[in-house]
A = this chain, B = another copy of it.
């Protein structure tokens, strides 16, 4: 099963699609009912890396359900896309496409930080998880989170963390994330709204 976005520069993936296909969902402790995975996410859906052509497939509109995005031009999008892809192994934005509408309907990011601590290790972060409202009830949020968790382990992260609102704590606990005793606060300074 190949990605069908390989006819020209517009189709460049942010990272090697084979990494997603290599994830071993049989190792997952998360129960999907009915069973779904990266390879088989549901009818007319495809899980794949963000591609440079996704500017025209509603990717930024999807992100706007999450938070402020702003008016990003095609050039800005492609400049940022290429800045990300040139830093190998650091940005794994994984999306779900509806292959009928051709629109991006879900997304989650594994952001990797290079460290000197932990044997010059990698720390993973789960960021910017979003699924379009119309696709609720199809386990797609759960699928994206578990995909990113398996991906973080696959690429050698010593841990993955996420910043989390109170109302989402229960959801992420079910997916194996823990509030560690005495070490679960994140603090913020905002420079812009």
- A interface vs B, CB < 8 Å? 59-60, 63, 66-72, 76-77, 79-80, 83-84, 86-87, 90-91, 111, 113-121, 125, 127-128, 149, 152-153, 157-167, 169, 172-173, 176-180, 182-192
**Known contacts A60-B116, A63-B116, A116-B60: A161-B182 contact under CB 8 Å:** no
Q: Number of copies of this chain in the oligomer?
A: 2
B149 touches A125 (CB 8 A): no
Q: Give the chain B neighbours of A116 by CB distance below 8 A.
A: 59-60, 63, 69, 72, 77, 80
Compute how far the CA of A116 lies from the CA of B165 in the bound complex, rounded to whole angstroms.
21
Compute how far the CA of A40 lies from the CA of B177 in the bound complex, rounded to whole angstroms.
43
Please tell me which one of the listed residues B90, B165, B191 contacts residue A183 in the complex, with CB atoms under 8 A apart.
B165
A-B contact pairs, 26 of them (CB 8 A): A63-B116, A67-B117, A68-B118, A68-B119, A69-B116, A69-B118, A70-B118, A70-B119, A71-B119, A83-B114, A111-B113, A115-B128, A117-B128, A118-B192, A121-B192, A158-B190, A158-B192, A159-B191, A162-B187, A164-B183, A164-B187, A167-B182, A173-B187, A178-B188, A178-B189, A179-B185
